[in-house]
Structure 1
Amino acid sequence: MKLTIKLTNFRLHKKLVEKLSVPIPTTDFEIGGNLEIERFESHTPGWACNGQPDEIGFTVNKPVQLYSIGLFGSCISSSVTYYQVEIDVREEKTGRLLGSQSGNYECSGAGPYMVVFRNPITLAPKTTYVITARVKGPDSYKGIKGRQCVETKLLNGKKLRVEFSNVYGTKNTTFKWGQIPMLVFS
């Protein structure tokens, strides 16, 4: 059994792709494993998108690739809004940058809208990674009732477990609330 998904499931717009010059397939493409990990049970209005860093740490129990990160959209307007976004993914211990993406993103409503990496980021088990997101734009929704551990079954029958952790010194996003509601793995 193969999981095939259309690009539209990523909620990306053609304009976004053109602005970022991200190579995107023009037809269906295969993702081998779980597509989306959502870390919040609910969301509510009221998150300031003023460019301050939102950070979350996480580990995985299987080797996987990180394709994209979802961010919440506007809680002020249901029409199209725009955000300036900078995302970095680093190894916590070494600080080594594994991938980054930045640009202007378009979002309709709450989102999440997806920030797709030009190249997937390969992750190893038992290593802590830190996602840092700097988002500028209208206030957004925020996740609440965050789950510290999310498990799902991959297509090969194995369980993928993603464990989230707070980043020391961060005053914004934690595993319980904030931004960065979704990760897309393969």
Structure 2
Amino acid sequence: MLQHEIHCDVSFKVGKEEKLVRAHKYVLASRSPVFDALLYGDLAESNEIKIPDIEPSAFNVLLRFLYCGDIDLNQDTVIGALYAADKYDVEELMKASKSYLDQNITYETVCTILENAKLFNFENLTEKCMNFIVENCNSVLQSPSALGLMKETLSEIVSSKYLNMEELEMYHFLISWAENQCEKKGLTKSDENIRNEIGDTLYQVRFQSMNLETFVKDVCRREILTPDEMINLQQIIVGNLHKGNTKFNLGERKYKTFTFLRCSDQRDGWDYKGTEDSIEFTVNRDVKLHGFMMWGGKSVPYTYTVERKLFENSNDVADVPSQPIEITNSSDIQFVVKLRKPVLLYPSKRYRVWVRLQGPRSWTGQTYKQSVNERGVQLYFYTHGGQNNGTSDTGGQFPGFILSL
């Protein structure tokens, strides 16, 4: 009846183009209390009703559900269908639209889903989107949809203490976002207008985590910050200003780390004699390496002197001077070796990590995995062809790696 418009008794002009859509009052009123009041109530409208705020494709999803119970959602219609379901109080379609969004969070969609989750007060979906953005911030903010974030939402993201993104990259994203806002408003993309668009959200960038050279070369070359703010931050970076004398958020970002175990079962016998234990590995997506695990001594307490380095295609990208690690807990058959600061790893690179330890004979492992997959991250391990002290893709040291998304 709907498809062939048989015995239709109500017409709608839908969307900005006022597409004519015919339907049946009784069917709509029986499935929606809002349509019931609209079509049969004391203030019932005429037989031609304008609905400019819903696009025809979304209105069609609503009608198909009201007539047949069909739920035909896709990325192009789900937001409009959610809005239509909310407007006409169609609870089951609301639930179906929310479920669709919940199951289709990606780098490209999460910003749009978040904005709508906040609009419709879907608290669980809002939290899920925020967690996804925090864990995948680099990839999410490279999506074109991120430039359309509302300022309130943007500020909430930048304010998060769990944000796995370099502060300089966040600063440059804010500039790109503000330039997009200027373009929408027909404003010139001057530093003054960009700052006005960013506003106080700029105070949530942890500029103090940058070194002075980076701050001066990459931040101070533009007049996004005022001269007083530049001086203020330079003094903080070099440690010449009390941290209470600033508007900027000086809280340290925290990372939600997790451990990849390529082996958890220990067995006797490994010797550390100052020889390099080394292994190569690749990742399938952008992740940050915080450190790795090593097998500890067979008796407690034990102390190891540790030196470690990380190479990217033979280029040294992270090292820490020799230092002692002392373990006193009898249950610690492994210990964590942390990098000085997290290192961003890329899927197009091959990395090699080596550790030189001196100390007592340790445990080692058995039944090693040559690849580990968790949370969408996959590590592949390879035996290093040079000095490795017997560590390989199937044995030796490095039972675990500490990563964050």
More helix by share: 2
| Correspondence 1:13-162 to 2 at 5 A | 30-32=254-256, 35-75=258-298, 77=299, 79-91=300-312, 93=313, 95-101=314-320, 102-107=322-327, 108-109=329-330, 110-153=332-375, 159-162=376-379
Higher alpha-carbon Rg = 2
The structural deviation recorded for 1:45 is 1.4
Q: 1: distance between equivalents of 2:301 and 2:389?
A: 29
Runs of 5+ in structure 2 lacking a partner? 1-127, 136-252
The answer to whether the 8 Å contact 2:264/2:399 transfers is no
Is the contact between residue 99 and residue 117 of structure 1 (CA under 8 Å) also seen in structure 2? yes
Aligned residues of 2:283 and 2:377 also touching (Cα < 8 A): yes
- CA–CA separation in structure 2 for the residues paired with 1:106 and 1:41: 21
Alignment counterpart, residue 176 of structure 1, candidates 380, 394, 401: 394
Provide the C-alpha distance between the structure 2 equivalents of 1:113 and 1:41, rounded to a whole number of angstroms: 13
State the Cα distance separating 1:171 from its structure 2 match.
4.6
Distance 1:98 1:50 in 2: 25
Shift of 1:30: 4.3
Partners of 2:275 and 2:389 within 8 A in 1: no
Aligned-residue offset at 1:126: 2.7
Structure 1 match to 2:403: 185
- 1:44–1:88 distance in 2 versus 1, CA, 3 Å: same
How many Å separate the matches in 2 of 1:121 and 1:30? Answer: 14
Deviation string 1:45-85 (CA, Å, 9 cap, x unpaired) is 1000111111110000011110011111111x1x2110011
The superposition leaves residues 117-143 of structure 1 with CA deviations (integer Å, 9 ceiling, x where unpaired) of 111111110311001111110001112
Distance in 2, Cα, partners of 1:48 & 1:71: 12
Unpaired runs of 5+ residues, structure 1, are 4-28, 154-158
Residues 136-174 of structure 1 show CA distances to partners (whole Å, capped at 9, x for unaligned) of 100011122110110001xxxxx1000000001335100
- SS at structure 2 position matched to 1:127: coil
Structure with the bigger RCO (C-alpha within 8 Å, sep 6+) is: 1
- Aligned-pair Cα RMSD in Å: 2.4
Aligned length: 155
Checking the alignment, whether the CA contact within 8 Å between 1:88 and 1:133 is kept in structure 2 is yes
Q: 1:50 to 1:171 in 2, by over 3 A?
A: closer
3-state SS, counterpart of residue 37 of structure 1: strand
Letter in 2 for 1:161: Q
Code of the residue aligned with 2:290 in structure 1: it is Y
Shift of 1:31: 2.9
Residue identity in the other structure for 2:272: C
What is the alpha-carbon distance in structure 1 between the residues aligned to residue 271 and residue 389 of structure 2?
12
* Alpha-carbon separation, structure 1, partners of 2:380 and 2:338: 21
* In structure 1, distance between residues paired with 2:389 and 2:302: 26
Verify the 8 A CA contact 1:85 1:105 in the aligned structure 2: yes
User: Which structure has greater strand proportion?
Assistant: 1
1:67-109 CA distance string (max 9 Å, x none)? 011111111x1x2110011111001x3x111111231001234
2:339 counterpart SS class: strand
**2: CA distance, partners of 1:54 / 1:144:** 16
Q: Partners of 2:286 and 2:371 in 1: how far apart?
A: 17
* Match among 350, 364, 383 for residue 166 of structure 1: 383
1:84 counterpart letter in structure 2? T
